[in-house]
Amino acid sequence: MATVNVLTNLSLITVGAAVIALGAAGTAQAKTYTEVGDAGKTLKTAQNLPGGINVIKGTISSKNGADLFSFFWDSGRFKATTVDGASFDTLLELFDSKGTVIALEDDSKGTAQSTINEFLDTGEYFLGISSSPNLALFGINYGTIPGSSSGDYSISLNKKTASFPKPTSVPEPASIIGILGLGAFGLTSVRNRKQQAAVKA
Ligand SMILES: [Ca+2]
Ligand SMILES: [Ca+2]
């Protein structure tokens, strides 16, 4: 009887370890960015996706709502889809860093959901989601045709976003203040000397 108990316990331990391993693998694959408040509809108010994101979750809260996300892509195939990620009629748009439309898709594979599939160079891009047939980017037909529905969405990317490159080196604010401060000190000294000269005269 003791032997049977030991075997049973070993089996349970093995099953438990397998479940933990699967759970860890699943967590490692998906890294989600959840919309903070309501993402904007312009290039300036788009929400920035940090590096390492491959799932975007958010909400189109009204028929005319639209969300824009900026991200950095390390060259290669870019695929974004709401298939299996939304129950309303989505429309996805991809823009370059200046807001020019690169790709747009409304209905994918007989669903009301959308898939964008493009080969991209390394750079900054914007991904917009709206309720079809409304468009995402404010100023380019946005709101001229109302959307048809609203709801929560999950956009899956084929690989993780890259980190934005660090800006090229510029003088430290402290050293600029130092230079300005020296300049101001120099001017003050000259002025003081002139004032002293004037008093003496
Ligand atoms: Ca939103
Ligand atoms: Ca659609």
Q: What is the CATH number of the domain that holds 60?
A: 2.60.120.380
Is residue 147 in some structural domain? yes
The amino acid at residue 153 is: Y
Is residue 165 in some structural domain? no
Residue 167: predicted pLDDT: 81
Count of Cβ atoms closer than 10 Å to residue 74 Cβ: 14
Is residue 115 in some structural domain? yes
Residue 29: predicted pLDDT: 85
Residue 116, phi-psi category: left (phi > 0), alpha (psi -120 to 50), beta (remainder): beta
Residue 28: predicted pLDDT: 53
**Nearest C-alpha neighbor of 43 from the set 67, 63, 59:** 67
- Residue whose tokens read 């699967």: 22
Token digits for 4? 């049977």
Q: How many domains does the chain have?
A: 1
* Positions in the chain short of pLDDT 70: 1-28, 138-144, 170-201
Is residue 172 in some structural domain? no
Ligand that comes closest to the CA of residue 67: 1
State the DSSP H helix or E strand holding residue 188, giving kind and residue range, or none if neither.
helix 173-200
d(CA 130, CA 142): 10
Could you write out the three-class secondary structure of 51-67?
A: CCCCEEEEEECCCCCEE
Count of Cβ atoms closer than 10 Å to residue 124 Cβ: 17
SS3 27: helix
Q: Which residues surround ligand 2, an ion (CB under 5 A)?
A: 89, 106-107, 112, 132
Ligand that comes closest to the CA of residue 132: 2
CA 123 to centroid of ligand 1, rounded, Å: 24
Is residue 37 in some structural domain? yes
Token digits for 189? 């000294």
Ligand that comes closest to the CA of residue 105: 2
CA 114 to centroid of ligand 2, rounded, Å: 6
CA 92 to centroid of ligand 2, rounded, Å: 8
Domain that includes residue 106, residue range: 32-157
Residue 175: predicted pLDDT: 58
Is residue 106 in some structural domain? yes
Residue 84: predicted pLDDT: 96
Is residue 125 in some structural domain? yes
CA 110 to centroid of ligand 2, rounded, Å: 10
CA 144 to centroid of ligand 1, rounded, Å: 18
Is residue 137 in some structural domain? yes
